[in-house]
Structures are given as structure tokens and as C-alpha cells.
Amino acid sequence: MGTATYTAPTTLPCLICEVENSPDAVVCAECSAPMALIQEALAQERDPCIITVIGDSNVGKTVYLGMLLDMLSKRADDFDAVPKGAYSVNLQHQVISYLGGRQFPPKTAMEVDEWQWAYYQASKKKKGPQIYDLVMPDMAGEAVAAEVASPKTFKVIRSLLEKSSGAILLVDAALAGVGSPQPDFFALKLMSYLDGVIASKQEDRLKTPVAIVLSKSDYCPDCFDNPRAFAETNLNRLWNICHNRFEHFDFFATSVVGSLGYGTDEYDNVIPYPLHVAPRGILEPFEWVLSKL
């Protein structure tokens, strides 16, 4: 009677969806987020900061995120970033290996349990001891599209966005630049979905920073000269919703490859091959998001 004995927790709440899981689970039973994330977050005793990379299928999320993580772990600029858990390195490893073999990585599977998640501890050397525990999953664009079209199909996406401190929205600048309305409409839908998920009071503009990354800008170099002007002209619907509903947003031109070659696959589809990797504008959006947190 009265003797306090230590008992290990019988369940652990998922970091993303808060559903209780058994401590030896590998992935969350509800949303498939890796439980290693939760163990890691508990060990840090800090609330992790979730930055979500979103965008349509084929906009370049996997390539961008893999490259970003690789640059962070190579101490680009004055960032210092340490992957937590070997699983965090998989995405970057995969993307860099494919690019090194002059290929783009395959498309991300729809199944949530096949997404790669990365948990990084990042800090800026010049800015003193502030540490960010960054959680960044690589989602499939088709899952994002399905969730936006009919909410609750992919609960993990909604939970993630609710918990996100910042978002990086990728928009295909190459498509927008040749006059396709698809990137603008998809981005508009995503922003209005995001608005619905994080809105607290209707009248207030949202404070969550959103970096809009104009991907594949190597196809339209004028993007680099003035990303905002490019967006105002070619992504006007997105431009307007940003101004009306978001307090912190900005546009960034990025590209991962310097030159492309073309070949055909087994079905005679023409596909591009990255002949040489020349990342441009990868860190800027990320750095901007951190500066607004």
C-alpha cells in the first residue's frame, strides 16, 4: 500500500492524429505515421515543428524535399541539421541516388504507410541556440488531390495540416508558364482547403506562413528574375487567395536540374532525364518559413 512503482505507459498518443497506440507499434494504427517519430519527439521534450510540403501529383515534391534534406544535412548555408533516426535519411538517400544515376525518382505511392517521413533537428548557426525539430513527410500528390476533393479520405493529411507550423506549396511553373490553368486551380483548391483547416476566426487572415515554390523553373527562367510577377500573371487565382486570406506568404523560384535529356520508356512515352544536378533556390523558401515561425 502506498508504494509508488514506475509503470511504463501502456499507450502512446500519435504525434499527428493523437490516437493512442501501443508503444511497440511501428506505425500509427490510425494514420500510419511512423511511431519512431513519436518516440523521438518524446525524447526531445519539445513540441516538434511540422512543416508540410504539399502540391499536386508530379509537381516535384519528392525531388524538392529530398534535395532540401540533403542540402541541410550537408550544412548548406549556415544551417546545421541532424537526421533523427535512420528512417529519416531514406528519402534523401533515394532521391540523391536516382539523380546520381541520371534518373528522376519514381512517383510516390498512394498508400500512407509507404510515404517517407523525415525527422530533423535543425538550427541556424548565427542565430544562437534556437532548435527546430522538423517533421516532414513526403506525401503522394494523388492522395492530396483525393483529400481536397472529398475531405476525410486521407485523415492524415488533415491532421498534418492542422498541426503544421508552416507549409511549402509546390506549383508547377513549367505548366503554368505555358498557359495551363491546372496548376492555378489546384493551388487555389489547396489554399482554400488549408484555409478551412486552420481558420480560427473567419475575419482574420491566417498567420501560418506558406511558401509558394514555383518548381521546375529551369523551364521558364524568367521565374527566377521575378517570381512574384510570374505568379501574378500566370497564377492569378492563387495570387488573389493568398492576398485575401494569408498574412505570411511569398513566392520562390526553384529548380533541381541544370540540364535535361530526353528518352522513351517501354511504352514509348517521352520522359526527361536529369543530365546534371544544379539546385537553385532550394533553401530560400525553407529559410523564409523558419524566419516567420
Ligand X SMILES: Nc1nc2c(ncn2[C@@H]2O[C@H](COP(=O)(O)OP(=O)(O)OP(=O)(O)O)[C@@H](O)[C@H]2O)c(=O)[nH]1
Residues contributing to the site for ligand X (CB under 6 A) = 55, 57-63, 104-105, 107-108, 140-141, 215-216, 218-219, 255-257, 260, 272
Nearer to Zn ion (CB atom), residue 113 or residue 204: 113
- Give phi and psi for 54, each to the nearest 5: -120, 165
Burial class from Cβ neighbours inside 10 Å (0-12, 13-18, 19+) for residue 129 reads: exposed
Please report, in angstroms and rounded to a whole number, the separation of the first and last CA atoms in the chain. Answer: 49
Is 108 a binding residue for Mg ion by CB under 5 A? The answer is: yes
The CB-of-63 to ligand X minimum distance in angstroms stands at 4
User: Which of 27, 30, 146, 287 touches Zn ion (CB under 5 A)?
Assistant: 30
Stretch that binds Zn ion, among 8-16, 172-180, 198-206, 208-216 (CB under 5 A): 8-16
Residue whose C-alpha is closest to residue 256's, from 98, 55, 52, 87: 98
State which H helix or E strand residue 222 sits in.
Answer: helix 222-225
The DSSP string of 81-106 is EEESSGGGGHHHHHHHHHHHTT-PPP
Stretch that binds Mg ion, among 6-14, 61-69, 206-214, 247-255 (CB under 5 A): 61-69
Return the one option of Mg ion, ligand X, Zn ion, none that residue 256 interacts with (CB less than 5 to 8 A, by type): ligand X
User: Which of 62, 116, 165, 217 touches Mg ion (CB under 5 A)?
Assistant: 62
Cell of 288: 523564409
- Give phi and psi for 174, each to the nearest 5: -65, -45
| Separation of alpha carbons 104 and 102, rounded Å | 7
Stretch that binds Zn ion, among 2-10, 13-21, 74-82, 192-200 (CB under 5 A): 13-21
- Give phi and psi for 219, each to the nearest 5: -75, -25
Nearer to ligand X (CB atom), residue 72 or residue 257: 257
Is 38 a binding residue for Zn ion by CB under 5 A? The answer is: no
Specify the 3-state DSSP secondary structure of 92: helix
Stretch that binds Zn ion, among 11-19, 100-108, 191-199, 213-221 (CB under 5 A): 11-19
The tally of CA atoms less than 13 A away on the side-chain side of residue 286 is: 30
Nearer to Zn ion (CB atom), residue 38 or residue 169: 38
| Separation of alpha carbons 143 and 145, rounded Å | 5
The CB-of-152 to Zn ion minimum distance in angstroms stands at 14
Q: What is the contact surface with Zn ion in residues (CB under 5 A)?
A: 14, 16-17, 28, 30-31, 33
Q: What is the contact surface with Mg ion in residues (CB under 5 A)?
A: 61-62, 108
